[in-house]
Amino acid sequence: MSFSDVTVRYPGRGAARPAVVDVDLQVAPGQFVCVVGPSGCGKSTILHVCSGLLKVSGGDFHYLGKKWQGRHTGIGYVTQRDTLLPWKTVVGNIALPLKLAGVAREERRQLAADMATKVGLGHFLDRRPRELSGGMRQRVQLARVLVTNPTLLLMDEPFGALDAVLRVRMQEFLRATIAEAGLTTIFVTHDLTEALTLGDQVVAMSGSPGRIGRIDTLDDLPRGVSAVELRQVPTYSVHEQQLWATIAGHGDSPEPL
């Protein structure tokens, strides 16, 4: 997908200031891009455009080579707050999008059970959300998205409500799952350490309206290591300092590192 000089204003706001301006960004197939920045800088707006839920007000946005045409197919969207149906079991929640797509009952149950096993929940198929931990509920959410075989995965602070230990475990789980599926992923977070641990590329936004202030490609950081190990790599602190300066509002011009 690509953003070219994109501005976004929310409908019905008249002459109100735009949410984001001058956004230029290209995301390659299979890339894991993390978007960081302070509250109100337009991170979620970027996701809304990517999903097709929001049309750009200026500039051009292309997905799979085509301009915006409404809600895109093949999009998986995971939010911070789980949206599981409390009366449905693990397998029932995972199978929900298949049911909406008209997949036959036995087939969708089998597909959902297989996906639950892939995310480590094969022994919890008949549990309900209230019987699961926070991390398990997030895995159900992710499984519900992955069972549809999406082309693009959008994640809006999915681990923000988890404690520190569980958050690290879910980061490791997500990275392994995404690598196996080869999914293009855009992951919004307030946590710079999380972004540097997960992403192939980090996009730093600032201001209101929001702008991209810096794009760092993390080719010089090892993948598949813990956040603690990653912090020992000398280039980690370089990325951290430069990205933080941008987020805080006194960074350099938006040049890729």
**pLDDT tens for each residue of 169-193:** 788 888 888 888 788 999 999 889 8
Top pLDDT among 2 and 180 is at 2
113: region left, alpha or beta (phi > 0 left; psi from -120 to 50 alpha): alpha
Q: Are strands 58-63 and 152-156 parallel, antiparallel or unpaired?
A: unpaired
Which pTM value belongs to this model?
0.87
Angle value at C-alpha 85, between 83 and 90, nearest 5 degrees: 100
The pLDDT of residue 184? 92
Instruction: Tell me if 246 sits within 8 A of 203, measured CB to CB.
Output: no
Q: Quick: pLDDT tens for 226-236.
A: 777 888 899 99
Average pLDDT over residues 120-134: 91
Q: Quick: pLDDT tens for 138-173.
A: 889 988 988 988 889 999 988 877 777 778 878 888
φ, ψ dihedrals at 235, nearest 5°: -70, -15
* pLDDT at residue 80 greater than cutoff 60: yes
Instruction: Tell me if 200 sits within 8 A of 31, measured CB to CB.
Output: yes
d(CA 54, CA 97) in angstroms, rounded, equals: 22
- Set out the domains of the chain in order of their start, with CATH numbers: 1-74+151-257 (3.40.50.300), 82-149 (no CATH)
CA proximity to 47, closest of 189, 218, 169, 194: 189
Q: What is the DSSP string of 105-133?
A: HHHHHHHHHHHHHHTT-TT-TT--GGGS-
Least confident segment among 67-76, 126-135, 186-195 = 67-76
d(CA 109, CA 106) in angstroms, rounded, equals: 5
The pLDDT of residue 69? 66
Instruction: Please name the amino acid found at residue 70.
Output: G
Instruction: Please name the amino acid found at residue 54.
Output: L
